[in-house]
């Protein structure tokens, strides 16, 4: 049991975000789902839904911060994301910019806005993280470089 710890999950209205919301709700977490447009499914599992949030805009981040004012955030999952199929030779760079804004910059915006509400002392230390990364790097050979690996050592398809 988590003693009602709060888990804030962006992009929680469908897909992986919704499944994460379901998982943490089953585990007893106080799930706060953040999304642009809510869903009945999210409303059914989240203790609180904060919708109409665009994590790529100043106004969206400001609204999110205001909605979460005073809330301790024990777990922040920056799940909101976008993946569009792009191929070399026909890349739409406006699409790439949009994906970068959502997938790379928005998590930083969210974390920066909410950092004062996240207790220090996370579950993994920099030393543990470095040890795991080093183990993955040391396990590489000429045959398996250029591949993607999960932190648990499992190769990820691409």
Per residue in 47-101, pLDDT tens?
999 999 999 999 999 999 999 999 999 999 999 998 888 888 988 899 999 999 9
Is 80 exceeded by the pLDDT of residue 149? no
Q: CB atoms < 10 A from the CB of 111, how many?
A: 13
Mean pLDDT along residues 7-27: 95
The CA distance from 8 to 73, in Å, is: 7
Q: Could you tell me which of 41, 37, 51 has the C-alpha nearest to residue 21?
A: 41
Does residue 21 lie within any of the structural domains? yes
Residues 131 and 56 in one domain: no
The CA distance from 123 to 10, in Å, is: 20
Q: Using pLDDT thresholds of 50, 70 and 90, give the confidence band for residue 158.
A: low
Residues 58 and 26 in one domain: yes
Q: How many domains does the chain divide into?
A: 2
88-128: pLDDT as tens digits: 898 889 999 999 999 999 999 999 999 999 888 666 666 77
Does residue 88 lie within any of the structural domains? yes
């Amino acid at each position: 049991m988590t003693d009602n710890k709060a888990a804030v999950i962006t992009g929680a209205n469908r897909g992986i975000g919704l499944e994460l919301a379901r998982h943490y709700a089953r585990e007893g977490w106080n799930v706060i789902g953040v999304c642009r447009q809510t869903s009945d499914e999210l409303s059914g599992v989240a203790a609180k839904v904060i919708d109409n949030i665009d994590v790529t805009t100043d106004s969206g981040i400001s609204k999110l911060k205001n909605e979460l004012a005073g809330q301790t955030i024990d777990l922040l999952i920056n799940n909101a994301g976008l993946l569009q199929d792009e191929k070399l030779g026909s890349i739409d760079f406006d699409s790439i910019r949009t994906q970068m804004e959502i997938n790379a910059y928005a998590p930083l915006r969210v974390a920066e806005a909410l950092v004062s509400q996240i207790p220090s002392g996370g579950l993994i230390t920099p030393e543990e993280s470095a040890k795991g990364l080093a183990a993955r790097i040391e396990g590489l050979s000429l045959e398996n470089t250029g591949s993607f690996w999960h932190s648990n050592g499992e190769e990820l398809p691409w």
